[in-house]
Structure 1
Amino acid sequence: MLRLFQGKATFRNLSRYSEMHEKRFSRWSRRAFDFTHFNARLLAHELPEAHERIAAIDASFMKKSGKHTEGLGYFYHSQAGKAEKGLEISLISLVDLNANTAYAIDARQTVDVEEQSRVDLYARHFREVAPALKKASIRYLAADSYYSKVKFIDAVCEQAFDLVGKLRIDADLYWLYPGDYKGCGRPKKYDGKVDIVSEKARFGYHLTLEGGVDLYSQVVYCKRFKRNLRVVLLHNRQKVKEGHALLFSTDAALDPVTILHYYKARFQIEFLFRDAKQYTGLMDCQARCKEAIQMHTNASLTALNLLKLEYRRQKQTTQETVISIASWKRKKFNQHLLLRLFDKLGLSGECEKIAQLFDEFSDYGTIAA
Structure 2
Amino acid sequence: MFPITSFLSCTDPIDELDVFSYHQKHHAKSYVTGLVAASNKTVDGIATHVLPAKSERALNKFLTEYNWDEDRLNRERLELLQTTNETRWSSEGVVIIDDTFTHKSGEQIPNAGKFYDHTARGYIWGQNLIYAIYADKKTTYPLCFRLYEKHSKTRVQLAKELVNECIEIGVPADTYLFDMTYCSGEFINHLESYAKEWVSAIKSDRNVTYAGERMRVDALRERIDTQPRTVDGETYHIWTKKLAVSKLGKVKVLITEKEPDDEDDELSVKYIVSNKIDAPASHLIALYAMRWRVETFFRDTKQDLGLGDCELRSDAGASRHWHLLMLAYSLLKLGVAQSALGTVISRATSLQADLKLSFRETVQNLLSWALASPARSIDDLMHDVEDLFI
Cα distance, 1:231 vs structure 2: 1.5
Alignment partner, residue 169 of structure 1: 204
Q: Please say if 1:252 is aligned against 2:277.
A: yes
Unaligned runs of 5+ in 2: 1-29, 376-390
Alignment partner, residue 134 of structure 2: 94
Q: Is the 8 A contact 2:89 2:171 kept in 1?
A: no
Q: Please say if 1:33 is aligned against 2:70.
A: yes
Counterpart CA distance in 2 for 1:285 and 1:343 is 35
Q: Is the 8 A contact 1:44 1:136 kept in 2?
A: no
Alignment partner, residue 185 of structure 1: none
Structure 1 window deviating more from structure 2 (49-58 vs 83-92): it is: 49-58
The 5 A counterparts of 1:273-284 are 273-284=298-309
Counterpart CA distance in 2 for 1:345 and 1:94 is 48
Cα distance, 1:298 vs structure 2: 2.3
Alignment partner, residue 129 of structure 1: 166
**Alignment counterpart, residue 320 of structure 1, candidates 347, 363, 366:** 347
Alignment partner, residue 251 of structure 2: 229
Alignment partner, residue 57 of structure 2: 23
Cα distance, 1:218 vs structure 2: 1.4
Counterpart CA distance in 2 for 1:13 and 1:42 is 28
**Alignment counterpart, residue 215 of structure 1, candidates 234, 238, 252:** 238
Q: Please say if 1:144 is aligned against 2:182.
A: no
Counterpart CA distance in 2 for 1:146 and 1:230 is 19
Alignment partner, residue 61 of structure 1: 101
Q: Please say if 1:196 is aligned against 2:220.
A: yes
Residue 221 of structure 1 aligns to which amino acid in structure 2? A
Q: Is the 8 A contact 1:72 1:85 kept in 2?
A: yes
Q: Is the 8 A contact 1:94 1:104 kept in 2?
A: yes
Q: Is the 8 A contact 2:228 2:236 kept in 1?
A: no
Counterpart CA distance in 2 for 1:6 and 1:300 is 13
Structure 2 CA distance for partners of 1:339 and 1:228, relative to 1, 3 Å: farther
Instruction: Point out 4+ residue stretches in structure 1 off by more than 6 angstroms.
Output: 237-240
Counterpart CA distance in 1 for 2:267 and 2:311 is 46
Alignment partner, residue 80 of structure 1: 120
Counterpart CA distance in 2 for 1:131 and 1:343 is 49
Unaligned runs of 5+ in 1: 176-189, 347-369
Structure 2 CA distance for partners of 1:171 and 1:67, relative to 1, 3 Å: closer
Cα distance, 1:243 vs structure 2: 6.2
Structure 2 CA distance for partners of 1:110 and 1:316, relative to 1, 3 Å: same
Alignment partner, residue 154 of structure 2: 117
Residue 197 of structure 1 aligns to which amino acid in structure 2? R
Cα distance, 1:247 vs structure 2: 0.8
Counterpart CA distance in 1 for 2:77 and 2:89 is 19
Structure 1 window deviating more from structure 2 (287-296 vs 11-20): it is: 11-20
Structure 2 CA distance for partners of 1:50 and 1:82, relative to 1, 3 Å: closer
Cα distance, 1:140 vs structure 2: 0.8
Cα distance, 1:336 vs structure 2: 4.3
Counterpart CA distance in 2 for 1:212 and 1:50 is 30
Counterpart CA distance in 1 for 2:102 and 2:242 is 39
Q: Please say if 1:310 is aligned against 2:365.
A: no
* SS of match in other structure, 1:103: strand
Alignment partner, residue 4 of structure 2: none
Counterpart CA distance in 2 for 1:158 and 1:328 is 43
Counterpart CA distance in 2 for 1:25 and 1:291 is 14
Q: Is the 8 A contact 2:109 2:311 kept in 1?
A: no
- Which has more helix, going by share of residues? 2
- Amino-acid identity (%): 18
Structure 2 CA distance for partners of 1:161 and 1:300, relative to 1, 3 Å: same
Cα distance, 1:317 vs structure 2: 0.9
Cα distance, 1:68 vs structure 2: 1.8
Structure 2 CA distance for partners of 1:311 and 1:110, relative to 1, 3 Å: same
Structure 2 CA distance for partners of 1:107 and 1:340, relative to 1, 3 Å: farther
Counterpart CA distance in 1 for 2:347 and 2:294 is 15
Q: Is the 8 A contact 2:89 2:172 kept in 1?
A: no
Task: Say what the alpha-carbon RMSD is for the aligned residues.
Answer: 3.0
Rg larger for: 1
Residue 107 of structure 1 aligns to which amino acid in structure 2? F
- The normalised TM-score by structure 2 is 0.73
